[in-house]
């Protein structure tokens, strides 16, 4: 459905990175964009730059997002907010698991529950879920993140079945490495982290992901772009490793 058929959008994790770029892109298309994130300062700067409507709240604030969904009939929902904790499940702690499940999955489920019935009733709407290649491929570390993003992938597929027969479209955007500040959030903001993940690489920028989201939304009503996997040209997912067994314990 063309942008002209949509009026309102909600973007989570909107204060920086892909979220902020998406807010900017949707505002340029003439939508009234509600930007939700924890950083009030980041949202204020974004609102001054784009004219978006800021909502400084945690995406896990069920009372807050419920109130917002009841006040505004959203035509576009972009579930972008996400957190990560490095390490395998062997090194995970309870707080880290709960944080990832709460933000990456539970909040997404609640927002879909709150927003999509209105889309179905109006026979128009578009849900964009930002997952990750970690939800499609297995590689070392970040086990809980893999699990939550895999759940978002399946939710995106299942949601298409739930809204079948209505002009409600669902798009999963599945990024690989993108030049954003997520690595600093996960590993700490240091020169070593920037060199490890960003500097010297040819990476997609946040606005490249926002442009992909806009492409999916702008498609004709008869077209549902279900899944876009967006990675650097010089990155491949997956891999195959084989280990020899350890020597028996004495």
Q: Is residue 21 situated within a structural domain? A: yes
The answer to whether residue 51 is domain-embedded is yes
Tell me, letter by letter, the H, E, C secondary structure of 99-133. HHHHHHHHHHHHHHHHHHHHHHHHCCEEEEEECCH
Tens-digit pLDDT profile for residues 161-170: 999 999 999 9
Collapse the DSSP code of 11 into the 3-class scheme (helix H, G, I; strand E, B; otherwise coil) and give the result. strand
Which two structure tokens, joined as six digits, stand for 80?
A: 């972008």
Q: List strand residue ranges (DSSP E) for 49-98, in order.
A: 53-56, 76-79
- CATH number of residue 83's parent domain: 3.40.50.720
**DSSP structural state of residue 6:** -
pTM of the model: 0.92
Please indicate, yes or no, if residue 122 is contained in any of the structural domains.
Answer: yes
How many domains in the chain? 1
CA distances for 139 relative to 41, 88, 142, 231, angstroms: 35, 10, 9, 15
Which sequence positions are flagged as catalytic? 145
- 235 belongs to a structural domain: no
Residues 101-144 have pLDDT tens digits of 999 999 999 999 999 999 999 999 999 999 999 999 988 778 99
Quote the CA–CA distance of 103 and 74 in Å, as a whole number: 20
Q: pLDDT of 56-65, one tens digit each?
A: 999 999 999 9
Confidence of residue 226 (pLDDT cuts 50, 70, 90): very high
Please state, in angstroms and rounded to a whole number, the distance separating the CA atoms of residues 139 and 237. 8
Region label for 237, one of left (φ > 0), alpha (ψ between -120 and 50) or beta (otherwise): beta
Residue 89 maps to a domain: yes
Whether 117 is in a domain gets the answer yes
Summarised one tens digit per residue, pLDDT across range 181-222 is 766 556 556 677 677 767 888 899 999 999 999 999 999 999
Residue-number span of the structural domain to which 224 is assigned = 3-230
- For residue 208, give the H/E element and its range: helix 206-218
The answer to whether residue 239 sits within a structural domain is no
Please, what is the end-to-end C-alpha distance for the chain in angstroms? Answer: 67
Give the pLDDT score at 87.
87
Q: Is 119 a domain residue?
A: yes
């Amino acid at each position: 459905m063309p942008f002209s058929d949509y009026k309102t959008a909600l973007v989570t994790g909107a204060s920086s990175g892909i979220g902020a770029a998406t807010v900017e892109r949707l505002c340029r298309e003439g939508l009234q964009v509600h930007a939700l994130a924890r950083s009030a300062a980041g949202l204020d700067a974004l609102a001054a730059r784009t004219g978006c409507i800021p909502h400084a709240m945690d995406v896990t604030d069920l009372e807050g997002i419920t109130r917002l969904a009841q006040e505004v009939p959203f035509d576009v929902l972009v579930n972008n907010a996400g957190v990560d904790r490095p390490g395998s499940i062997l090194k995970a702690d309870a707080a880290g698991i709960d944080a990832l499940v709460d933000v990456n999955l539970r909040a997404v489920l609640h927002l879909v529950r709150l927003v999509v019935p209105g889309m179905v009733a109006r026979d128009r709407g578009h849900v964009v879920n930002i997952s990750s290649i970690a939800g499609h491929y297995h590689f070392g570390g970040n086990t809980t993140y893999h699990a939550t993003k895999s759940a978002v992938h399946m939710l995106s597929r299942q949601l298409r079945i739930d809204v079948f027969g209505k002009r409600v479209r669902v798009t999963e955007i599945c990024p690989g490495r993108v030049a954003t500040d997520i690595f600093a959030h996960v590993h700490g903001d240091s020169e070593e982290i920037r060199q490890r993940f960003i500097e010297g690489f040819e990476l997609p920028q946040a606005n490249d992901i926002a442009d992909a989201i806009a492409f999916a939304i702008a498609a004709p009503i008869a077209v549902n772009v279900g899944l876009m996997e967006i990675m650097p040209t010089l990155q491949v997912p997956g891999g195959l490793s084989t280990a020899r067994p350890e020597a028996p314990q004495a």
